[in-house]
């Protein structure tokens, strides 16, 4: 679990940024970040709108005998692979072979796989579908009905509003527990990584390519705590989905953070800290109001 609920969730009535992320300092102790990336967030509020050619040549012949024309095939043009999608923040990453983050991610990936089988059965027959799976699939369907940024905004908003921010210690009696979406939707409670995991699965279930969806763990330099968000690659940019606000913030505009880890179907990778600090602007993301 990522520590205090007040730091990792959004309030039920009003949240004023920046909220402190609720990750215990010890959860990602192996991250040895040596340079900070201080970045800011835009003011625009995310809208939850349910938004080788063949050439023929003549064969040479002499005057004494007419030879048939033979088709000469040109070699096809070499295929050029599309460039790989860059990592969030445009930083270099290194694979993680062990540690607490990899252990937790491996465990929750197994739970996600089991839950995907439940979701698949629900699509075959809703009569045998558990209520929590129906609720989750309702959010997925609302997102699938949209495209582009609207799809991302719908899912981000729906999951932010579906879960009550609660620390793992308060809910489970342990300092840190990562839960798969249906587990979280059963209690309707969770902390930042539970929100992020639910969004990660919902986005891929809604039709976004797996390589375009990730979990990102950052260090909030304002509170010196770690925080988890979901990230989606769209139109050449990485959009970060944070449970503390509805705004869809680009990675380079996240407020005052140090990127630590990126997680996806390929495992866990650690960000290599940048060589320079990006000056922080004063703008902050729009907050959730009720």
Q: Evaluate whether 227 touches 21 at the Cβ level (below 8 Å).
A: yes
Which pTM value belongs to this model? 0.71
Place of tokens 């953070």: 257
137 inside domain: yes
Q: 238 Cβ partners below 8 Å, 6+ apart?
A: 88, 89, 231, 232, 250, 251
Residue 48: name the closest of 206, 246, 208 by CA. 246
pLDDT value at residue 57: 43
How many domains does the chain fold into?
1
Chain centroid offset of residue 15 CA: 23
In tens, the pLDDT along 40-72 reads: 444 444 333 334 343 434 444 444 444 344 333
In tens, the pLDDT along 246-258 reads: 999 999 999 889 9
161 inside domain: yes
283 inside domain: no
In tens, the pLDDT along 112-129 reads: 999 999 999 999 999 889
Instruction: Say if residue 28's pLDDT is above 90.
Output: no
d(CA 28, CA 199): 21
The mean per-residue pLDDT over the stretch 124-141 comes to: 95
Give, in degrees to the nearest 5, the angle at Cα 195 between 206 and 215: 70
pLDDT value at residue 273: 80
56 inside domain: no
261 inside domain: yes
Number of separate helices (H) and strands (E) present in the chain: 7, 11
d(CA 40, CA 285): 8
The domain that contains 132 carries what CATH number? Answer: 3.10.620.30
52 inside domain: no
d(CA 166, CA 178): 13
The parent domain of residue 237 ranges over: 5-47+87-271
162 inside domain: yes
228 inside domain: yes
Instruction: Say if residue 87's pLDDT is above 90.
Output: yes
Beta-carbon count within 10 A of 245 CB: 25
Q: Evaluate whether 221 touches 258 at the Cβ level (below 8 Å).
A: yes
């Amino acid at each position: 679990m990522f520590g205090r609920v007040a730091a990792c969730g959004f309030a039920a009535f009003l949240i004023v940024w920046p909220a402190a992320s609720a990750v215990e300092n010890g959860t990602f102790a192996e991250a040895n970040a040596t340079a900070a990336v201080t970045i800011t967030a835009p003011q625009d509020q995310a809208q939850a709108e349910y938004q080788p050619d063949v050439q023929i040549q003549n064969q040479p012949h002499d005057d004494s005998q007419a030879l048939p024309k033979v088709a000469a095939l040109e070699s096809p043009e070499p295929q050029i692979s599309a460039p790989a999608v860059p990592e969030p923040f445009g930083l270099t990453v290194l694979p993680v072979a062990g540690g607490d983050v990899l252990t937790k991610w491996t465990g929750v990936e197994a739970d996600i796989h089991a839950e995907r089988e439940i979701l698949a059965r629900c699509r075959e027959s809703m009569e045998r579908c558990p209520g929590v799976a129906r609720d989750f699939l309702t959010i997925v369907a609302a997102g699938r009905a949209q495209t582009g940024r609207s799809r991302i905004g719908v899912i981000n908003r729906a999951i932010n509003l579906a879960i009550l921010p609660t620390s793992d210690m308060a809910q489970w009696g342990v300092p840190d527990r990562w839960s798969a979406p249906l587990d979280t939707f059963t209690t309707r409670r969770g902390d930042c990584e539970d929100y992020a995991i639910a969004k990660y699965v919902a986005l891929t279930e809604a039709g976004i390519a797996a390589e375009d969806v990730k979990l990102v763990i950052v260090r909030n330099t304002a509170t010196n705590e770690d925080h988890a968000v979901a990230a989606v690659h769209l139109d050449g940019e990485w959009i970060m989905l944070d449970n503390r606000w509805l705004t869809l913030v680009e990675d380079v505009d996240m407020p005052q953070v140090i990127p630590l880890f990126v997680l996806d179907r390929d495992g866990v990778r650690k960000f290599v800290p940048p060589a320079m600090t990006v000056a922080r602007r004063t703008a902050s993301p729009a907050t959730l109001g009720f």
